[in-house]
Amino acid sequence: MLVNCAGQEMELTIAESDAGSPRTVCVKTLANETPLRYRDWVENNRGYVHKKTKGKVGYVHIPDMMAKGYSEFHRYFLAEMDHEGLIVDVRFNGGGHVSPLLLEKLARRRLGYDLTRWMSYEPYPEESVRGPIVALTNEHAGSDGDIFSHAFKLMKLGKLIGKRTWGGVIGIWPRNWLVDGTITTQPEFSFWFKDVGWGVENYGVDPDIEVDITPQDYVMGKDTQLDRAIEETLKEIKKNPPLKPDFSKKVRKGLPEEVK
């Protein structure tokens, strides 16, 4: 009954078994199911990581390095950063230009805590990751997805796991419109790194640990790359336990006895 009704407002009659008369609600159907499938995939990954690690590891996915990716990062980051470890997934990243902003956040190292009198603690610096970080990438991550993956390694933020990235780093600038409404693009922005020079273009970024997802794994619903990321994050947590003091032993700075 919803065929050819994408993006339109529809009336639904809802009858609840334990309620009175049916009620009518108005909803707007999806024009594209991709956002719904994406949210389902991310939430399943996040739930799987939490369950598999008993709440020790957080999960964030970044779909691109533009407005959507920036908002998706912050949608989850503030909740996930306080786990003992963090997996940052940039598989299928479509590129953009915000990777420096995200890397700055991930590079913050927790040095201490601000414990308030009436509320909970806050990390210092604010919005800093509590423990070790592992990144996931694959052959479908390109452009600024390539750059993020390489910079993550170069900054020594943690291990990079997955497959070699796409290698399409030279950016385009879609700015020349034609009379029929189409637009042309041309190569504009090439990228140089201090360790490999121009070498990321047409090659990509090698992960520290290469993990493939075979067709058999895919059919069985196994994400071998995510499983390896979980394994490596737990190893890093054991090797380098996250910083968190015992707040019950807070020193009380009262007046000296002679003053009282």
10 occurs within a structural domain: no
Longest dimension (CA), the chain: 88
Distance of CA 95 to the CA centre of its chain: 14
User: Looking at the 3D structure of the chain, how many domains does it have?
Assistant: 1
Residue 230, SS3 per DSSP: helix
In a domain, 255, yes or no: no
Query: Can you give the CATH number for the domain in which 148 is found?
Result: 3.90.226.10
User: Residue 244 above 80 pLDDT?
Assistant: no
Beta-ladder partners of 123: 113
Query: How many Å apart are CA 207 and CA 84, to the nearest integer?
Result: 23
**Inside any domain, residue 12:** no
Q: What is the CA radius of gyration of the chain?
A: 24
Q: What percent of the chain has pLDDT over 70?
A: 98
Residue 7: is its pLDDT beyond 60? yes
pLDDT digits (tens, 9 = 90+) for 45-95: 999 999 999 999 999 999 999 999 999 999 999 999 999 999 999 999 999
Would residue 209 count as lying in a domain? yes
In a domain, 45, yes or no: yes
Q: Which domain holds residue 192?
A: 25-241
CA-based angle 51:65:125, to the nearest 5? Answer: 65
Residue 69 covered by a domain: yes
Q: Give the separation between CA 29 and CA 7, rounded to whole angstroms.
A: 5
